[in-house]
């Protein structure tokens, strides 16, 4: 694989939010002037995941000739950002990204959000309408999951169980290569052969710091599981939903939903929704990188043309 990430990305940069140091990098095209609306990427949460999830997409985006600036931040608790011992909610991460938009980016962006981090984008849209021109939802959760409130007592109970010596041991087990490979094959990728060394090595390196467990435990506790049906129906920005042809759900509530049904439910609710199915399962930007970039490019161009870029 051609490695271009070091020549398209800045070195790690930092900003401060709520007394925490937060990391990000900025990608730009090689030997070309950036143009069009910038992209702000929101990485998924999981063992070893961080902004590094997007490196393959960024390489492909510029290899395909696109010139948008790409802002790629680490959410608090992940990557090179600070990792306080707290239970993170979508609202927390949205506040972090709102500050990032207001102080670092300072111009409208298109959010590109992976998987079950969609609630973070929802919360961000609520807070910062003017700086978000559009959204790309990559492999969003099953509709039955994103519109169902998880009991708060259950969330707290799960968090307390994980935030214990048991959770510490579980995380050490979960960051082993054998577990990461097995989970990725069972739950994330359509083709097990796509679970390659680049993927596994990135996760292993990302989970080396045991403090990364707090963000993962917050996700597993389900603090993001709420009924977002009204909030989704209130998103006024153009929104592109990208679903893998073999998309599945880890949650029991979404087990029986087909990819076509998921797409239809989102498009029925979003005021300015568009949708497309592409090859792959649950991590299209990594598993089907070229096809994902090709699928979202017309939408990015369309939104760029409708927004006056200063």
The pLDDT value recorded for residue 7 is 56
Domains and CATH numbers, the chain: 5-306 (3.40.50.1820)
pTM: 0.94
- pLDDT tens string 52-73: 999 999 999 999 999 999 999 9
State the SS3 of the chain.
Answer: CCCCHHHHECCCEEEEECCEEEEEEEECCCCCCCCCCCEEEECCCCCCCCHHHHHHHHHHHHHCCCCCCEEEECCCCCCCCCCCCCCCCHHHHHHHHHHHHHHHHCCCEEEEEEHHHHHHHHHHHHHCHHHEEEEEEECCCCHHHHECCCCHHHHHHHHHHHCCHHHHHHHHHHCCHHHHHHHHHHHHCCCHHHCCHHHHHHHHHHCCCHHHHHHHHHHHHCCCCCECHHHHHCCCCCEEEEEECCCCCCCHHHCCCCHHHHHHHHHHHCCCEEEEEECCCCCHHHHCHHHHHHHHHHHHHHHHHHCCCC
* pLDDT of 1 above 80: no
Q: How confident is the model at residue 308 (pLDDT cuts 50, 70, 90)?
A: low
Question: Where residue 255 falls among pLDDT bands split at 50, 70, 90?
Answer: low
Answer yes or no: is pLDDT of 254 > 70.
no
pLDDT(209) > 60: yes
Give residue 2's pLDDT band: very low, low, confident or very high (50, 70, 90): very low
Segment 38-42 shows an average pLDDT of 98
pLDDT digits (tens, 9 = 90+) for 99-140: 999 999 999 999 999 999 999 999 999 999 899 999 999 999
């Amino acid at each position: 694989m051609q490695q271009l990430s070091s020549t398209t990305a800045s070195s790690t940069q930092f900003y401060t939010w709520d007394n925490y140091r937060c990391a990000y990098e900025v990608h730009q095209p090689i030997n070309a002037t950036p143009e069009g609306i910038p992209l702000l990427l929101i990485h998924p949460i999981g063992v070893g995941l961080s902004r590094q999830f997007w490196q393959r997409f960024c390489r492909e985006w510029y290899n395909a000739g696109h010139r948008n600036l790409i802002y790629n931040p680490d959410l608090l608790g992940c990557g090179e950002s600070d990792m306080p011992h707290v239970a993170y909610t979508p609202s927390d991460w949205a506040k972090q990204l709102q500050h990032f938009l207001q102080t670092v980016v300072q111009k409208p962006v298109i959010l590109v959000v992976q998987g079950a981090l969609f609630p973070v984008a929802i919360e961000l849209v609520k807070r910062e309408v003017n700086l978000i021109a559009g959204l790309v939802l990559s492999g969003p959760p099953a509709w039955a999951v994103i519109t169902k409130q998880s009991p708060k007592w259950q969330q707290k109970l799960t968090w307390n169980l994980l935030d214990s010596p048991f959770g510490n041991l579980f995380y050490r087990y979960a960051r082993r290569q054998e577990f990461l490979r097995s989970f990725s094959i069972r739950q994330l990728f359509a083709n097990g052969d796509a679970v390659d060394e680049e993927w596994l090595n990135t996760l292993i390196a990302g989970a080396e710091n045991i403090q990364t467990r707090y963000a993962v435990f917050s996700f597993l506790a389900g603090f993001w599981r709420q009924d977002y049906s009204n909030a989704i129906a209130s998103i006024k920005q153009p929104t592109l939903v990208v679903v893998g042809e073999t998309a599945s759900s880890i949650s029991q509530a979404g087990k029986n939903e087909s990819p076509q049904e998921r797409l239809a439910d989102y498009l029925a609710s979003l005021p300015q929704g568009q949708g497309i199915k592409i090859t792959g399962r649950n991590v299209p930007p990594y598993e089907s990188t070229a096809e994902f970039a090709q699928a979202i490019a017309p939408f990015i161009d369309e939104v760029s043309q409708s927004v006056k870029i200063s």
